[in-house]
Structure 1
Amino acid sequence: MTTIAFIGLGVMGLPMATHLVAAGHDVVGVNRRPGPRDQLVRAGGRAAADAHEAATEADVVITMLPDSPDVEAVMLGDDGVLAHMRKGALHIDMSSIAPSSARRVAESARAVGVEPLDAPVSGGQAGALAGNLSVMVGGERSTFDRAEPVLAVMGTTVRYLGPSGSGQTVKAANQLVVAGIIELVSEALVFLHAYDVDLPTATSVLAGGLAGNRVLDLKSAGMLAHEFEPGFRLELHHKDLTNLLDAARSAEVALPVGSLVAQLLGAAKAQGSGALDHSALLLEVERLSARNIARR
């Protein structure tokens, strides 16, 4: 049994932490809102008053927070979580943050004797609930080997990718592909609607051919019904593409389609869709076309 401090019990973090409890680990949850902490306790975990208390006794600290500033605010500084962790403990950041931020946090961890990994995930809320996330890991190989049994509880695809920041770099590429596919699926649905094609039938045909993809499999029914309960919030996907474009500029890599999709996500967020599922990018395509595929 490993003592794990899990910081950030959101729509992804809570089910991930619950899987760790079910696997026999001693999981201490930290969250701003008490509701998720209470749910973790009911599942057999424990709750801590703050991150410092949880980190002091932990063999592993996992962070699952919204963005780079959140991770750095929690972990760094004279009174950050790293200052309260035991030497030789692991810090696994499973948030989606900028690769440069992941490297900064890793350097600070090593300076105090903590072994860091950046291990962002893909699969959304459904993957977190099912325990079949894809986990992309950067850091020292020996640290990955120590952490792999813990990561395997939460994901079925767990891969070591290279030094610190590598996991976040691959996650950024993942978010580029996913956002691009959501945009293209949205455009296809609006196009088909304009010609009075039966959309459920059309999406099933598309899903069965070379155009088939996970967005069609998992998101199309909600898109057709205009049901956008967030599995992954649009505003967070916009944040991820902002991090991606910053990293691309640093490497002098051109991402013309990615830049356009980032603008469309930003426009959708500005129109009030930020708290909806990222498949609500459809609403922006509908606005541009003055159409609503949920109505005839």
Structure 2
Amino acid sequence: MTIKRVGLIGVGLMGHGIGKNILDKGYHLTVMAHKNRGPVDDLIAKGAHERNNAIAVAKESDLVILCVTGTPQVEGLIYGEYGLLNAVRDGLIIADCSTAEPDSTKRIAVDVEAKGGHFVDTPMTRTPKEAAAGKLGLMTGGPQAVIARIRPVLDCFADTIVHAGPVGSAHQLKLINNFLSICHAAVAAEAITVAAKAGVDMNALKDIVMAGGAASVMFGRLINVPLHDDDSAAQFAIRNARKDLRYYTNMTEQLPVTSFLAETAHQMTVMADNMGYGDRFIPRLIDVLMQVNGVKK
């Protein structure tokens, strides 16, 4: 069955770009009401329809895309009083673009399939800028036939799509990817803080690091904080980084595998959150470390 009607729950920084590109490709789009009216109202102005709960969205959709914070929000949307599980019918597909815990993903998939539907994990990489441009990176987990059915919709907002394996494997891959990204940011924040306290010229630091083996995308983004007081190149909240690292260390503990660096980076995000930086973007780990170490900006 060809997907013609798409539902979107979670119209935030990333979800707005996803919805815009789905509309641009001519799909019927239904979004769920959200307290942040700006992105929702913009999609409605572009032709989207709005409904007040997840059941109502599902009833008008062949595919429902979730783009929320994490596992508690996903489970609430599935199992809550007006949850999607109450609206699952033969052939309905739910694709979870959130960063979530793999074991929860697998359990939800079993429950959705028992009612005739499909639940697949399709977490994202990159930023709101790429979401708006239709150039997100996606990992997919689930049966190949189900992924093939929704692939035309995914192609609306992603230019890199990797199939990770069965349900849950994409969320595993996402957690590993985010561990690398966040730890790169933590290392870069510490290096920049040390350089600042030592009086190293920041332009010289940028030039030498980015020209050699120490270069990383995250360093290239974070160095804009001391140079230009600009954190816009990595629009990812520290509180979300804290959550993702905890999901990652939960996974490593269950395997079990040691994860010394992840625990250290997680504690850095906990400290930052406790200091009031939870809603700030990840490059502001530099401000946290500078404050702790008595470095003047």
Normalised to the residue count of structure 2, the TM-score between the two structures is 0.93
- Residue 240 of structure 1 aligns with which residue? 244
- Residue 141 of structure 1 aligns with which residue? 144
The one-letter code matched in structure 1 to 2:15 is G
**Partners of 2:236 and 2:192 in 1: CA distance:** 21
2:129 alignment partner, SS class:
helix
User: In the alignment, does 2:274 pair up with 1:270?
Assistant: yes
Query: Identical aligned pairs, as a percentage?
Result: 24
User: In the alignment, does 2:88 pair up with 1:85?
Assistant: yes
**Partners of 2:79 and 2:226 in 1: CA distance:** 40
Deviation at 1:103, TM superposition (A): 1.0
2:187 alignment partner, SS class:
helix
Unpaired runs of 5+ in structure 2?
none
**Cα 1:223/1:103, change in 2 over 3 Å:** farther
**Partners of 1:46 and 1:219 in 2: CA distance:** 39
User: In the alignment, does 2:33 pair up with 1:31?
Assistant: yes
**Partners of 1:156 and 1:187 in 2: CA distance:** 33
Aligned length: 293
**Cα 1:204/1:17, change in 2 over 3 Å:** farther
**Partners of 1:11 and 1:90 in 2: CA distance:** 23
Deviation at 1:108, TM superposition (A): 1.3
**Cα 1:204/1:269, change in 2 over 3 Å:** same
**Cα 1:129/1:214, change in 2 over 3 Å:** farther
**Partners of 1:266 and 1:224 in 2: CA distance:** 26
Matches within 5 A, 1:171-210: 171-210=174-213
Q: 1:66 aligns with which of 60, 66, 69?
A: 69
Which 10-residue stretch deviates more, 62-71 or 27-36?
27-36
Deviation at 1:82, TM superposition (A): 2.4
Query: Contact between 2:134 and 2:159, CA under 8 Å: does it hold in 1?
Result: yes
Query: Contact between 2:63 and 2:94, CA under 8 Å: does it hold in 1?
Result: yes
**Partners of 1:101 and 1:223 in 2: CA distance:** 40
Deviation at 1:228, TM superposition (A): 4.0
- Residue 9 of structure 1 aligns with which residue? 11
Deviation at 1:170, TM superposition (A): 0.6
Deviation at 1:58, TM superposition (A): 0.3
The one-letter code matched in structure 2 to 1:270 is N
Deviation at 1:190, TM superposition (A): 1.4
Query: Contact between 2:221 and 2:283, CA under 8 Å: does it hold in 1?
Result: no
1:164 alignment partner, SS class:
coil
**Partners of 1:223 and 1:159 in 2: CA distance:** 35
Q: 2:112 aligns with which of 109, 117, 120?
A: 109
User: In the alignment, does 2:256 pair up with 1:256?
Assistant: no
Q: 1:128 aligns with which of 131, 152, 170?
A: 131
Deviation at 1:77, TM superposition (A): 5.1
- Residue 122 of structure 2 aligns with which residue? 119
Which 10-residue stretch deviates more, 150-159 or 283-292?
283-292
Query: Contact between 1:58 and 1:85, CA under 8 Å: does it hold in 2?
Result: no
Query: Contact between 1:125 and 1:232, CA under 8 Å: does it hold in 2?
Result: no
Query: Contact between 2:63 and 2:95, CA under 8 Å: does it hold in 1?
Result: yes
Query: Contact between 1:76 and 1:108, CA under 8 Å: does it hold in 2?
Result: no
Moved over 6 A (4+): none
- Residue 292 of structure 2 aligns with which residue? 288
The one-letter code matched in structure 2 to 1:23 is K
The one-letter code matched in structure 2 to 1:271 is M
**Cα 1:223/1:196, change in 2 over 3 Å:** closer
Deviation at 1:173, TM superposition (A): 0.3
- Residue 155 of structure 2 aligns with which residue? 152
1:191 alignment partner, SS class:
helix
Deviation at 1:19, TM superposition (A): 0.9
Query: Contact between 1:268 and 1:283, CA under 8 Å: does it hold in 2?
Result: no
Which 10-residue stretch deviates more, 195-204 or 3-12?
195-204
Normalised to the residue count of structure 1, the TM-score between the two structures is 0.93
**Partners of 1:185 and 1:204 in 2: CA distance:** 14
Query: Contact between 1:110 and 1:116, CA under 8 Å: does it hold in 2?
Result: yes
Unpaired runs of 5+ in structure 1?
none
